[in-house]
Amino acid sequence: MSFISYLINGISLGSVYAIIALGYTMVYGIAKMLNFAHGDVIMVGSFAVFTIVSTLGLPPVLGILVAVVICTVLGMAIERVAYKPLRNASSPLAVLITAIGVSYLLQNVALLIFGANTKSFTSVVAISPLKLADGQLMISGETIVTIIAGIVIMVCLTLFVNKSKAGQAMLAVSEDKGAAQLMGINVNGTIALTFAIGSALAAIAGVLLCSAYPSLTPYTGAMPGIKAFVAAVFGGIGSIPGAMIGGILLGIIEILGKAYISSQMADAIVFAVLIIVLLVKPTGILGKNIQEKV
Amino acid sequence: MKKWKMTKTAKNNFVTYIIVLIAYIVVQILLKSGNMSSLMEGLLVPLCIYVMLAISLNLTVGILGELSLGHAGFMCVGAFSGAFFSRCMDGVMPNGIRFFIALLIGAAIAGIFGILIGIPVLRLKGDYLAIVTLAFGEIIKNLVNVLYIGKDNNGFHFSMKDSISLHLGEEGQVIVNGAQGITGTPHDASFTVGIVLIFLSLFIILNLINSRDGRAIMSIRDNRIAAESTGINITKYKLMAFSISASIAGVAGVLYAHNLSTLTALPKNFGYNMSIMILVFVVLGGIGNIRGSIISAVILTLLPELLRGLSDYRMLIYAIVLIAMMLFNWSPKAVEWKDKLKEKYFSNISFRKEKEVK
Amino acid sequence: MKRFDKVMSLVMVSAIAVSLLAGCGNSDAGAQADNAASETNNEAAASETDTTEADDNSAAADSTASGAFKIGGIGPTTGSAAVYGVAVQNAAQLAVDEINAAGGINGVSIEFKFEDDECDAEKSVNAYNTLKDWGMQMLMGTVTSGCSVAVAEKTSGDNMFQLTPSGSSVDCVKYDNAFRVCFSDPNQGAASAQYIGENSVASSVAVIYDSSDIYSSGIYEKFVSEAANQPFEIVSAEAFTADNKTDFSVQLQKAKDAGAELVFLPIYYTEASLILSQASTMGYEPIFFGCDGLDGILNVQNFDTSLAEGVMLLTPFAADAEDELTQKFVTAYKEKFGDTPNQFAADAYDAIYAIKAAGEKAGITPDMDMSTMCEAMKTAMTEITLDGLTGVGMTWDASGEPNKAPKAVKITDGVYTAM
């Protein structure tokens, strides 16, 4: 019984990782950059909801909408100011470092505005927990919502990328920027759109993260961001269903590792499993193996 | 023609040595004349540590061409092995010799870790390699945090749970105490030692780059398949660069451990944050540019300290400056603009001749 | 590209040279820029800045002939531990302002300057050196244990008086110039175990602690060894780490499965608030018992205090205590910083008043040199008795440890009540 209970906890944690990883993988898959600031955009989204719902007392739905708008604008602004000028830089590492700078910047702005004190986030989910087996097993409302949201986002993104014109443009840009431009695709617009979608997803992820784990500080996004990055790599970075699977697996491994091996070494276990998976399947679980050309 | 080119490389390296030497002399003069503030005096050893970390990571990132996000892990290994040795041997042998052996141990153990980690990791490519190095760095940090080693009359005791389960005897003493780390490491690090170690690292790295082995390593970076087809042993050279880079980081770690009396493996000093910080030094200074790494490590270490006057806004300004410097140094537009500017003002100055050395 | 790098490197080298000079010794430019900046950011210190500027030129090197006591503070005001550093900074500033308004120490006013260390031992030493350049004569810091151990090495080398408000690990006060206001970690661990055992609070106990934190693991170890002498049993001991502190379901599940009646939480309130809410979601309702790190849980903004119902903690300070001193402090703090002070703030406030008391006992004057002052303060610290926020009749012995009784409080109806 306790095993099933751990498994459920693992899925709860994993669903949060998964929803963050979706945004990560979206940006990475199209723009081919590791956006280290993604975790901090999540934090900004959470603070936006916190301010609107808890401080101003407005309804959560409005809070989520505003947070999505704020994060979308923020994501596009970051892309325009900090990433776009470096798109054709001689090394892809340049933009990685700028992303780290942006991450510091967002953390410190939040620190100045909201202070260092921990805020307790009020869950926006009003569903009561699902009780199974005479109340011995419990699935929280947040978990249900997060998993449903994750699946919906995953399906929508997959459809969007594969069926819509803008989505096809994204695929083309990710494949070859120069060729895409020659085909009349607005590369800048497409990448900006990618960031807009990724950041909007970050806002939703932030709300769900803080609903499930209601503690909010300017540094809230950093660690889940890295974990979600690991999840995205785990599932095959760039692959949308891969991010979902990677996230949930990561959560399950983390919880089971804590439960059955050692609670002190949970991170070491997670990372060790990641290394083993990557050594066996070097592009992640669902990653495409691109043959190197001479 | 070829000979001329060689001397130019030599000249270029010579300039790097001279810069370090001049920095050393200037600092010594300031120290002797009492014009150095306590802050600067305290920063001298950390500066040496970060310079060593930056040039050693540049060997992996710039010369070998692989992105590593776990460099702090090697520093951590070196720091803990060196400090452990020093704590055990304190008072048993003369300080100078003990510190020297600690440095060697740190270098050796970090180098061994470099090889052990390098064998699986270097089979991967690009971002996957980066994430695996990050994973190894985090594993090292996590394991060091649950490591308990104690010493009593019966010898060493070892545990991965807590210090109670060491079951030490009466005279027992916990040396590595999990998250509380190692305290009371003797303070052996000094600026002179730091500079000597920088010279040594520079000597190793610059000579490696300009040797046959170094050219083999760079050929792997530029085109792995072409290099392989000319008979270069990819695994050997990758491991060589990776483990040398790791052991220099290990030496920097030993220096770090002997500069502060407390050594703990926090996310702040040995986590991925630190690895990324070292990467920032390398990228800002110019990938593959050893001298640039030295300069950017110095600037980025000094910057937050010099901004202390801004109190609350310090880290904010630091972040903005970092972004601005990156845009200025790397954006193709800025590079083009700088080129134009140079044409205009520096076209007849001797810098011109030095272009495209690498 | 390469050529420009050379130009750039030259520019940067000269920038460093300039900054080195600016950072050196008594350079007017550097010192004044600092003052100007702190003036804009630290309104509380505004009244003192004009004197600072005048002093800086002469006082930086040997800190003599200054018209005020220069007390420095160090702690994290950025980074994930910022909440503790900011609390200490604010409360210490409050105490300094009060003392200055009441005439200072021995009639001499205090200048207070606080530096950020990001909770990193190396940065902490940098902060200490910065303060030394400023002319600091006594140190109130550092906030966190790891940094405190590193800085204590430096203060003992310089023979500077150091009083840490909240550095609780054993090594923080191993030198005779260092004292602390808070309890030591072993002290809290043993006291908690004794309290639970002597009052028969529970017979089976689970522990959830932060194995990557010095404070938490220090208390945990002593708790476990003291528990052997007590009539209760530890049925589960699970850890978490700094990188893994969002999900506590496993630790709670294990405690629940082991049938623990009481869960001991030697951790800080940020994580504890998550543990409480997750336990409530799980439907697990043991007694939660914590140490001073748990204080502040009721003041987490927007926290559902009903979750903390029945939580017991051993703490020297409770923000809603009824005594006049606490009330006055809490009101003033709220008014000035818009937040309810936590235990760190209280420790810092007491630290400044302890320095005042000891300073008056020792009869120190600002023109004493650092070492003489330290010697005088060292003796005086063991002779004073302080009625502070964190204890009535606090005394110190030469080891640097405070003698005060921990108070056990229980949260009922969203407020602390003494037990």
Q: What is the pLDDT of residues C247-283, one digit of tens each?
A: 898 999 899 889 899 999 999 888 898 999 888 888 8
| B161 touching chain C per CB within 8 A | no
Exposure string of A217-234, with b = 16+ CB inside 10 Å and e = fewer, is bbbbbbbbbbbbbbbbbb
Cβ-Cβ contacts under 8 Å, A90 against chain C: 1
Provide mean pLDDT across the span B36-49: 91
In a domain, A275, yes or no: no
Q: How confident is the model at residue C30 (pLDDT cuts 50, 70, 90)?
A: very low
Beta strands in chain B (DSSP E): 148-152, 155-159, 173-177, 182-183, 262-263
CB contact under 8 A, C243 and B142: yes
Higher pLDDT, A176 or C13: A176
In C, minimum Cα distance to B44 occurs at C126
Q: Measuring CA to CA, which residue among B258, B210, B223 is closest to residue B96?
A: B258
CB contact under 8 A, C249 and A255: yes
Neighbours of A112 (CB within 10 A): 15
The beta-carbon neighbor of A5 closest among C1, C246, C253 is C253
Provide mean pLDDT across the span A94-109: 92
Radius of gyration in angstroms for the set of CA atoms belonging to chain A, rounded to a whole number: 19
Cβ-Cβ contacts under 8 Å, A254 against chain B: none
Separation of alpha carbons A215 and C304, rounded Å:
12
Cβ-Cβ contacts under 8 Å, A111 against chain C: 78, 82
**Out of A118-127, B155-164, C288-297, C350-359, which region has the weakest mean confidence (pLDDT)?**
B155-164
> What range does the domain containing B63 cover?
2-354
Q: Which two tokens stand for residue A57?
A: 């007392």
Q: For residue C43, what pLDDT is reported? A: 37
Cβ-Cβ contacts under 8 Å, B302 against chain C: 16, 19
| pLDDT surpassing 60 at residue C41 | no
| pLDDT surpassing 50 at residue B303 | yes
Amino acid at B77: V
**Out of A55-69, A123-137, A185-199, C79-93, which region has the weakest mean confidence (pLDDT)?**
A123-137
3-class SS at C233? strand
Domains and CATH numbers, chain C: 67-183+322-404 (3.40.50.2300), 186-315 (3.40.50.2300)
CB contact under 8 A, A88 and B313: no
Rounded to the nearest angstrom, the minimum Cα separation between C133 and chain A is 27
The beta-carbon neighbor of C281 closest among A117, A129, A267 is A129
CB contact under 8 A, B306 and C243: no
In a domain, A54, yes or no: yes
The beta-carbon neighbor of B39 closest among C23, C35, C210 is C23
Tell me which chains share at least 3 CB pairs under 8 Å with chain C.
A, B
Q: What is the DSSP string of C180-192?
A: ESSPPHHHHHHHH
Cis omega (within 30 of 0) for bond into A143: no
Cβ-Cβ contacts under 8 Å, A135 against chain C: 283
CB contact under 8 A, C302 and A6: no
Reported as a single tens digit per residue, the pLDDT across C54-72 is 334 333 333 344 588 999 9
**Out of B3-7, C130-134, C299-303, C410-414, which region has the weakest mean confidence (pLDDT)?**
B3-7
C52 CB burial (10 A radius; 0-12, 13-18, 19+): buried
| pLDDT surpassing 50 at residue A198 | yes
Residue A239 · residue A223 · CB < 8 Å: no
Provide mean pLDDT across the span C34-53: 38
Rounded to the nearest angstrom, the minimum Cα separation between C6 and chain B is 8
Residue C44 · residue C113 · CB < 8 Å: no
Q: Computed from CA positions of residues B308, B313, B318, B324, in that sequence, does the dihedral angle turn out positive or negative?
A: negative
- Number of domain units in chain A: 1
Higher pLDDT, C244 or C262: C262
The CA–CA distances, whole Å, from A279 to A256, B114, C96, C385 equal 22, 17, 59, 64
Exposure string of B88-119, with b = 16+ CB inside 10 Å and e = fewer, is ebeeeeeeeebbeebbbbbbebbbbbbeebbe
Q: How confident is the model at residue A31 (pLDDT cuts 50, 70, 90)?
A: confident
User: What CATH number is attached to the domain comprising B350?
Assistant: 1.10.3470
Q: What is the mean pLDDT of chain A?
A: 88
Neighbours of A152 (CB within 10 A): 10
Task: Note which residues in 8-37 of chain B have CB less than 8 A from chain C.
Answer: 19, 26, 30, 34-37
CB contact under 8 A, C38 and B309: yes
Provide mean pLDDT across the span C208-227: 88
DSSP A293: P
Q: How confident is the model at residue A293 (pLDDT cuts 50, 70, 90)?
A: low
Cβ-Cβ contacts under 8 Å, B125 against chain A: 282
Higher pLDDT, B347 or B285: B285
In B, minimum Cα distance to C80 occurs at B268
Provide mean pLDDT across the span B29-42: 88
Provide mean pLDDT across the span C368-382: 90
| B269 touching chain C per CB within 8 A | yes
In C, minimum Cα distance to A12 occurs at C247
Please report how many Cα atoms fall inside a 13 Å half-sphere around the Cα of residue C412, on the Cβ side.
Answer: 6
**Out of B5-14, B183-192, C119-128, C135-144, which region has the weakest mean confidence (pLDDT)?**
B5-14
| pLDDT surpassing 80 at residue C375 | yes
DSSP A238: T
Q: For residue C65, what pLDDT is reported? A: 43
Q: For residue B6, what pLDDT is reported? A: 55
Neighbours of B126 (CB within 10 A): 11
In a domain, A272, yes or no: no
Q: Determine the length of chain C.
A: 419
In a domain, A277, yes or no: no
Separation of alpha carbons C290 and C220, rounded Å:
11
Provide mean pLDDT across the span A105-123: 89
Q: For residue B357, what pLDDT is reported? A: 40
Separation of alpha carbons A209 and A202, rounded Å:
10
Beta-bridged to residue A131, according to DSSP, are: A138
Report the residue of A216, A263, A271 to disrupt the C interface, i.e. the one with the largest count of C CBs within 10 Å: A263
Largest CA distance in chain B: 77
Separation of alpha carbons A20 and A35, rounded Å:
12
In B, minimum Cα distance to C219 occurs at B180
CB contact under 8 A, A120 and C304: yes
Rounded to the nearest angstrom, the minimum Cα separation between C368 and chain A is 38
CB contact under 8 A, C283 and A135: yes
In A, minimum Cα distance to B281 occurs at A97
Separation of alpha carbons A255 and A11, rounded Å:
9
CB contact under 8 A, A272 and B280: no
Exposure string of C113-151, with b = 16+ CB inside 10 Å and e = fewer, is bbbbbbbbbbbbbbbbbbbbbbbbbbbbbbbbbbbbbbb
The beta-carbon neighbor of B131 closest among A86, A89, A230 is A230
Rounded to the nearest angstrom, the minimum Cα separation between B327 and chain A is 7
Q: What is the DSSP string of B153-196?
A: TTEEEEESS-GGGG---TT-EEEEEGGG-EE-------HHHHHH
> Strand pairing of A119-120 and A215-216?
antiparallel
CB contact under 8 A, B146 and A265: yes
Provide mean pLDDT across the span C140-145: 88
The beta-carbon neighbor of C246 closest among A54, A129, A213 is A213
Cβ-Cβ contacts under 8 Å, C339 against chain A: 115, 117
Exposure string of C28-47, with b = 16+ CB inside 10 Å and e = fewer, is eebbeebbebbbebbebbee
Separation of alpha carbons B282 and B66, rounded Å:
13
| pLDDT surpassing 90 at residue B191 | yes
Q: How confident is the model at residue A288 (pLDDT cuts 50, 70, 90)?
A: confident
CB contact under 8 A, B327 and A85: yes
Provide the number of CB pairs (under 8 Å) joining chain A to chain B: 125
Cβ-Cβ contacts under 8 Å, C2 against chain A: none
Separation of alpha carbons B270 and A122, rounded Å:
34
In a domain, A260, yes or no: no
Separation of alpha carbons A218 and A213, rounded Å:
15
| C119 touching chain B per CB within 8 A | yes
Task: Note which residues in 95-134 of chain B have CB less than 8 A from chain C.
Answer: none
Q: Which ipTM score applies to this complex?
A: 0.89
Q: For residue C322, what pLDDT is reported? A: 77
Q: Which two tokens stand for residue C244?
A: 């893994």
Element (H, E) at C387: strand C386-388
Residues 6+ apart with CB under 8 A from A227: A17, A20, A250, A270
CB contact under 8 A, C83 and A266: no
The beta-carbon neighbor of C121 closest among B35, B262, B286 is B262
| pLDDT surpassing 70 at residue B8 | yes
Q: How confident is the model at residue B107 (pLDDT cuts 50, 70, 90)?
A: very high
Q: How confident is the model at residue A247 (pLDDT cuts 50, 70, 90)?
A: very high
Q: How confident is the model at residue B59 (pLDDT cuts 50, 70, 90)?
A: very high
> Strand pairing of A119-120 and C287-290?
unpaired
pTM, two decimal places: 0.87
Q: For residue B266, what pLDDT is reported? A: 84
Q: Which residues of A touch B (CB under 8 A)?
A: 34, 36, 82, 85-86, 88-91, 93-94, 96-98, 100-102, 104-105, 108-109, 111-112, 226, 229-230, 233, 237, 262, 264-265, 267-268, 271-272, 274-275, 278-279, 282-284, 292, 294
In C, minimum Cα distance to A257 occurs at C250
Separation of alpha carbons A255 and A266, rounded Å:
8
> What range does the domain containing A213 cover?
2-221
**Sheet order of strands, C402-403 included:** C386-388, C391-396, C402-403
**Out of B126-135, B210-219, B246-255, which region has the weakest mean confidence (pLDDT)?**
B126-135
CB contact under 8 A, A279 and B124: yes
CB contact under 8 A, C79 and B268: yes
